[in-house]
Chains A and B, each alone.
Chain A
Amino acid sequence: MKKRLALILASAMLVSSAVCSLASCSGNGGSDAKGHVYYLNFKPEQDAQWQDLAAKYTEETGIQVDVLTAAQGTYETTLASEIAKTDAPTLFQVNGPVGLANWKDYCYDLTGSDIAGELTSDSFALKADGKTYGIGYVIETYGIIVNTKLLADSGHSLDEITNFETLKTVVEDITARKKELGFSAFTNASLKEGEWWRMQTHLANLPVYYEYKADGIGSTDAIKGTYLENYKNIFDLYINNATCDPAIVDSKTVGDATQEFADGQAVFYQNGTWAYNDIKDLGDENLQMIPIYTGVEGEEKQALCTGCENYWCVNANAAEEDVQATLDFLKWVVTSDAGTTSLADEMAFVSPFKSAKESSNPFVKQANDYIAAGKVPVDWTFTTMPSEQWKNDLGAALAAYCRKQNDTTWGAVQEAFVDGWAKEVQAAKEATAE
């Protein structure tokens, strides 16, 4: 009996593995001569617009374009499973050099391609080993968004704010009169787990940026934390002058903060160009984005934080005609009237392409005004942060600091920032070492 059972098991295994291999390994046929495009989109806000654009392109050229959008916060997971399929995405995106390290083997060398030639500046290309692997397609800006109407109600104006000291004076005055005014200075800092990015990525960009600038480098294996005191300045200001007690900010989401700002409960709110749609009901004339001052010397000349963390990559493992179809599609998106209109108006992107149209987003204009006035934008250095783990450990440490503000808890933040950086760089090196 046992022998027979073993025989049955063995034969069943054979049959099933045969079925399995048949199903997974014979998928080369099917794509027609013209190739097809499969775009795995990162930004859920723009899903509908991409679908429309894809349909338009198919109508014009007959080439099939599929767009799939990953749910918020699941892009890496979705990409990992999609790219292993026979019908893998031909076009996907990475978030800067750290993301590229993960996907480099899948990235087609775009050096000399039409799309690379359309970039207004070579600095928007994502390069490694002298090859162009990614094309930045949207430039975004963040800072402290101000509800100027509320600010006027509190008896202050933006002219007063030129650096950290003056910002602090205004903010603390509003907090002192919080009851009388009926609103707070800042929205909550949204430190619920998984909602940390405004603080541990965007705000943490400033100390990293200033350290890189002081040392004349573009990335590092060991951050020193020279400007952590400035990070503490602004973070303390955020949490101690907010709509909620710092002890409970770890239950607040970014959505809560946005809602507070939209409802007029707070004057200041740190976020970026992408948040415009959520708060535009306050009226363009009442919205102004100002630089994030942290008390660094000479910060009066600092502009907003502008950069790019979304890079298009073409799947190098896709069939040749699919790669070509994807390159053609990209060129069409950034040069054709339909494409540029959709990018600028419907998706409200500022794109670094030669034929790009002007975006309708007022924050974009404000960012340009600062630059026109001779101020210097802060680069996005957070694409060089060593890993998601680093950001999450920092976020958790910040949340712990909010629960109890003292030297020990701030010490833990410093440790997550400085020691954590070296540790994560080391871990990443070990993981990618051959």
Chain B
Amino acid sequence: MEKIMKKNPLYFCLFLLPTLLAFMIGFVIPFGMGIYLSFCKFNTMKDTKWVGISNYVQIFQGDDAFGHAFWFTALFAVISTAAINVIAFMVAVLLTKNFGGTNFFRTIFFMPNLLGGVLLGTIWKILFNGILVSMKQTLTSNATYGFVGLLILMIWQQVGYMMIIYVAGLQGVPDDLKEAARIDGANDKQILFQITIPLVMPSISMCTFLSITNGFKLFDQNLTLTGGEPMHNTEMLALNIYNTFYSRVGYKGVGQAKAVIFFLLVGLIAIIQLRFTQSKEAD
């Protein structure tokens, strides 16, 4: 098959075209339009007016909320990535040991992932408020509550998903390697850090990539859990963009420009992170 494809470019095109078309319509074209719109003043996609970089200038001239949202989001992404991956890895190690019911527990841990973010935010808000009300406080009483609340919610939701990836990675570590190490006198800790972790490094890069980008892109949970309250103090980047887009007349272009900056930021951070973890992967 491969040979036929290589010999005859027509086939190559034919098979590639549907996916390419879908990719163009669903991603490349809207993306291009999005970048174009960030340089425009517009209300709908039909009446755009080119304004150059003025949208970008406006963001960097005293939009404090955007700056705050960036640091809040960055802090959240870092802490949540660390917490999610450590916990998910520990759970995965536990659930690859030989004892009964591992499949049952894997299912249970994975389940929160099947629920949507809006629903989760709403449910957890009721839970948190139910507890906090006894102290005459609410989740939006101060920004720390909101931050911790978001963290708990995200850990609860994401651990199961990352765990599945780690379980698959752990099962790929050959037993004979561990056995050989044990015969050579390595203890459990040494086996974990010298054998297992280097060998599941591809899973770790995958999971950290997913959780750090998820952390940066977080929107639904942020919207429903705190809505950015109190006073925009728990507003993350995606929510800030959304609010910019809709809360003032004539600010759609600014919101769009923020979205482009957001894309560059997340892309850059993800690339750095991937480079870093991939450099640690064993051959």
Contacts and interface: CB of A to CB of B under 8 A. Distances in A.
Contacts of A392: 243, 247
B29 interface: yes
B248 A396 contact: no
A84 B41 contact: no
Given A17-B29, A247-B137, A396 B230 contact: yes
A403 B248 contact: no
A170 B19 CA distance: 71
A77 B246 contact: yes
Contacts of A15: 17, 21
Contacts of A192: 140, 227
B81 to A, nearest CB: 27
Interface in B177-195: none
Contacts of B228: 193
A194 B231 CA distance: 12
Contacts of B133: 248, 251
Interface stretch (B8-16, B111-119, B150-158, B272-280): B8-16
A17 B29 CA distance: 8
Contacts, number: 115
Nearest to A79: B44
B56 interface: no
B174 interface: no
Given A12-B20, A80-B43, A105-B47, A388 B25 contact: no
Nearest to A245: B136
B217 interface: no
A406 interface: no
A97 to B, nearest CB: 11
B141 interface: yes
B134 to A, nearest CB: 10
Contacts of A76: 246
A193 B249 contact: no
Contact of A80 (B44, B232, B248): B44
A218 to B, nearest CB: 19
A192 B230 CA distance: 10
Contact of A432 (B16, B58, B129, B250): B250
Interface in B113-144: 125, 129, 133, 136-142
B220 interface: no
B45 to A, nearest CB: 5
A392 to B, nearest CB: 6
A377 to B, nearest CB: 28
Chain B interface size, under 10 / 10 to 19 / 20 to 34 / 35 or more: 35 or more
Interface string A6-34: 00110111011101100000000000000
B136 A13 contact: no
Contacts of B13: 8, 11
B72 interface: no
Contacts of B227: 192-194
B97 interface: no
Nearest to A105: B47
Contact of A251 (B29, B43, B139, B247): B139
A403 B136 CA distance: 9
Nearest to B141: A403
Contacts of B24: 12-13, 16-17
Chain A interface size, under 10 / 10 to 19 / 20 to 34 / 35 or more: 35 or more
A193 B225 CA distance: 10
B229 interface: yes
A324 B41 CA distance: 31
Nearest to A424: B248
Interface in B225-244: 226-232, 243
Contact of B249 (A4, A8, A387, A399): A387
B3 interface: no
B46 A84 contact: yes
A399 B140 contact: yes
Nearest to A4: B9
B110 interface: no
B262 interface: no
A431 B45 contact: no
Given A396-B229, A428-B249, A16 B29 contact: yes
A388 B245 CA distance: 11
A98 interface: yes
Interface string B38-51: 00010111110000
Interface string A86-120: 00000000000010011101000000000000000
A400 interface: yes
A83 interface: yes
Contacts of B46: 84
Nearest to B58: A430
Which of B226, B231, B250 has the most chain A CB within a 10 Å cutoff?
B250
Contacts of A80: 43-44
B251 interface: yes
A226 interface: no
Given A193-B228, A396-B229, A9 B20 contact: yes
A71 interface: no
Nearest to B229: A193
A270 to B, nearest CB: 21
A389 interface: yes
Given A12-B17, A102-B249, A251 B129 contact: yes
Interface of B: 9, 12-13, 16-17, 20-21, 24-25, 28-29, 41, 43-47, 58, 125, 129, 133, 136-142, 226-232, 243, 246-251
Closest 9 CB pairs of A and B: A431-B250, A193-B227, A84-B44, A16-B24, A388-B247, A251-B138, A389-B247, A12-B20, A193-B229
Interface of A: 4, 8-9, 11-13, 15-17, 19-20, 76-77, 80-81, 83-84, 98, 101-103, 105, 192-194, 245, 247-248, 250-251, 387-389, 392, 396-397, 399-400, 403, 412, 424, 427-428, 430-432
Given A8-B9, A16-B25, A250-B230, 9 more contacts: A12-B21, A98-B249, A192-B140, A193-B227, A248-B133, A251-B133, A251-B139, A403-B142, A427-B248
